[in-house]
Structures are given as C-alpha cells and as structure tokens.
Structure 1
C-alpha cells in the first residue's frame, strides 16, 4: 500500500436516504481494513419547514473528513445521487494531503449528480431533459419526497422488499440541491464514475452526458468509468458490485 492509498471510506448519501440505507454495503466492506464513515446529511429528513441547507450538508461532510484526516487516514469519498453535489462543494484543496498530513485522495461517484462549476441542477435538466421517473411529491413547505420510491429507486429489487425499503426514505429540502456549483474536485483527484444501467432516478443517458461534460472540461486527474447493472441504489441491491468498483478505484492508486 502506497503512502497515497486510502485507509478510510467517507460515504455521502443521497437526498431521500439515511446512513442506515448503506448498511448492506458497509457489511460488505466489514472484512476490509478500512475505517468507514457515513455522516447524516442534515437536509435529508430535516424539520418541516426545513432548516438545513446545502451549507449544512457540506459542513457535516467536511467535519467527518477532518476527523478522519486528524486520525491519520487518507480518504476515498463515495458519493451517491445528491451526494455528488455535496461532494463537489465539500472537497476543497485544504482537504487534500500534503507533506504534513493525510487527506482525500480519490472520489467515486455512484450515479451521482456531476454538475459543472457555474451551473445548477436546473441547468443540467434544461440542457438534457428531466430523465427521471421519480414522481416527486411536494409538501408545500420546501420539502419534497418520492411518491413512487419502490418503483423508481428500487426497481431491481423484489417488490415486497422494495416497499419495505421505501418506508425508510425521508423528505429532502429541495432548495439544498438548487444552488450554483462552485467547485470541481474531479479535476484534481482520481475519479471513478459508476453508471447504474437500470437507474430510473438519474437515467443512464443523463449520467453519460454529465460525465462527457466533465471529460470535455478537462483537468489534471484521471477520470474513468465503470458500470453496474442495477437501479438507483446498488448499495442495497448489488452491494458486492459496489465493493468491486471501490476496490477497482483503490487499485488505481497503487
């Protein structure tokens, strides 16, 4: 293991999920030597009307990253869905390793929003269309929820199990995802984007379009892709496949 190899994995979950959703993947990684953290994003399942914003989510991720760095870990960040927006804003130069300490050394984006600096999620949707089968319900107080989560988030899972999983989904402060992106850590650190081929929440043509925009924008870091034959939540339906791509990202640093 090189001095730049990760010894910790920092998971950034998506908008309608909680850290508990990631337990199947965490269990799959339990045999490894990695320290794993998945901080709760405050904008997910917050009070109604919601109080937490993207800034609060970014702060939660940065706090967890600094704790891991202070404990002597290099970090692989694994971001899913809305977590891609949080990752873009949370990962800054001060969290990269230097001669005095460890830091964030790689990024895995799992069917995540990958938005260019200066753009918003709305800009991406206007450019490529709303390639999504999630039926959003609006509570009228700034929070939204997935009305058809079993079929849109868990379409590759047994329907009975999907209904049970959907009960754990939470509301999200829609405004947390609406701000302008200011950073692009994928230009600085090795990044692997995982296409989820049966995803109905961020459909694969949209995933590919966002990745192509990132590749066209350039940068100094390696940007590679991988595929999983899954719906939006392979950390639940295909945790062994997510472990495989994480291991691929780790090998890429050797």
Structure 2
C-alpha cells in the first residue's frame, strides 16, 4: 500500500495539465493529480480564481498532500496552500514565490518581461486583456528536444493579464515547509531572481535545466520529487 503523500501538480502560464504527462509517466505507483488554472483557459480567469481552484483540488484529496507549483503556478499555490488542511509541503519549481502584497508583475520589476506578447484591453473594459509568449522554444523549452518543443508550443494558450497584476493576500511559504527547485539554465525566470525567491524556502535543490524540466528531464525531476515526498 502506498503511504506516500498525494502529489498535486499546478502548471504555469500558457500551459495546462497536458505539460505534466512525461513527468507523471516517471512516477508510477504514486497518486498524482493535476490542476487546470482558469487564468489560462478561454475564460481568462484571474489569480484569485486560480487560487480557489487549487484550494478545491487540494481539499478534495482527503489525505496528506504535497503540491508543486511551476513558474506562474507558484502564485496561486502560495495564495491557496495554507488554507487547506493536509498539505504537508509546497515545492516551487522555477516558480514565483511572492509575499503578501506582491504580484507577478512586481516580481518582474514592474515592467512586462521582453518575452511577454501583451494585448491590453481599453481602459473602460472590465477585461484587462491577456499576454502570450514570444519565442517560446528559446524561452520555455531551450533544452527540450525540438520535436517535443514544437508539440508543446502548439498547445500553448493565452494568459490573463489580471493574473499577473493581482497581489497575494496570503503567503503559504510562511506557514508550511517549502522547497525551491532552481533551474539553473532557465531563460524565462532569471537565475538571480530564482535565487532571491529560493531564499524564502527552507530547502533548495538544483537542476541544470531550462524552464521546463518536466519535458527536458522528466526522469531526473521525478527522482527529485520522490526524494521530497520521503524526506
């Protein structure tokens, strides 16, 4: 009988649960679940809606749980994880780790990163617009095999601007055990920013990988996650 915690995976901007397939294949015998964030769906939800979906997914497990947030996924995980009983640990995978009052955009220095292809709505519109990713193969999948990178690019969607502008109201890393997995060759989140955010975690692990090790090095990442589940 498997006594390890359930692993809940939360994707980043532009992605969906599809991005975890190869990683899940490397985790046989574990109870692994995924979350689909509204901010990257056709409805272009916001950060708080994302956090609500994450909280509901965690609460539905009904047993000890470890949650992994990748990239933007770290934001709704940080907002939601400490509100649910049973979450034993938060793992940030090249993820944003904000404090209360900080937003995705503020972590980026208040300016849109150069690889964001931003589509703003008129000021009178309730919809704040969306952003896509420019040069995804170079930014997100720098060390992913080209054919697999092209398949992933074809699945990428839009990300709501609201999700990047709303501040956190709660910081799970202040209340729960946390690990940060630094991706040292990441082209999306600079290593210097990762190091700064990793200092908020209790444990730091490192991968010599680009932004998406679940595609480029799924077996290696699976080994790191298994170690976190048992340690």
TM-score if structure 2 supplies the norm length?
Answer: 0.89
Q: Which residue of 1 aligns with 2:73?
A: 83
Distance, in Å, in 2 between the alignment partners of 1:28 and 1:161 is 17
* Equivalent in the alignment of 2:219: 240
**Residue equivalent to 2:35:** 39
2-side partners of 1:88 and 1:180: how far apart?
11
Residue 13 (structure 2) pairs with residue 15 (structure 1): yes
Quick one: which of 138, 141, 159 aligns to 2:118? 138
**Deviation digits for residues 166-206 of structure 1, max 9, x if unmatched?**
11111100211211122221222221100001111102111
Distance 1:6 1:62 in 2: 20
Superposed, which structure 2 residues align to 1:212-223 within 5 Å? 212=199, 214=200, 223=202
- In 2, Cα distance between equivalents of 1:176 and 1:121: 8
What's the TM-score once normalised by structure 1's chain length?
A: 0.81
Residue among 41, 45, 58 paired with 2:51 = 58
Structure 1 portions without partners, runs of 5+: 97-102, 216-222
Deviation, 1:61, is 1.0
> Structure 1 segments of 4 or more deviating over 6 A?
none
How do 1:1-254 residues align onto structure 2 when only pairs under 5 Å count?
6-29=4-27, 31-32=28-29, 34-47=30-43, 50=44, 52-69=45-62, 73-93=63-83, 95-96=84-85, 103-126=86-109, 135-141=115-121, 142-212=129-199, 214=200, 223-252=202-231
CA distance, structure 2, for counterparts of residue 21 and residue 196 of structure 1: 17
Give the distance between the partners of 2:106 and 2:57, measured in 1 at CA: 30
**Does the 8 Å contact 2:47/2:164 carry over to 1?**
yes
How many correspondences in the alignment? Answer: 224
Per the TM alignment, residue 92 of structure 1 is displaced from its structure 2 partner at its CA by 2.5
CA offsets 1:1-40 (integer angstroms, 9 cap, x no match): 9xxx7431111110110101110011111x22x2211121
Q: Which runs of 5+ in 2 are unaligned?
A: 122-128
SS in structure 2 of the partner of residue 189 of structure 1: coil
Matched residues in 2 for 1:185 and 1:6: separation? 21
Q: Distance in 2 between matches of 1:181 and 1:56?
A: 12
What is the CA–CA distance in structure 1 between the aligned matches of 2:106 and 2:120, rounded to whole Å? 23
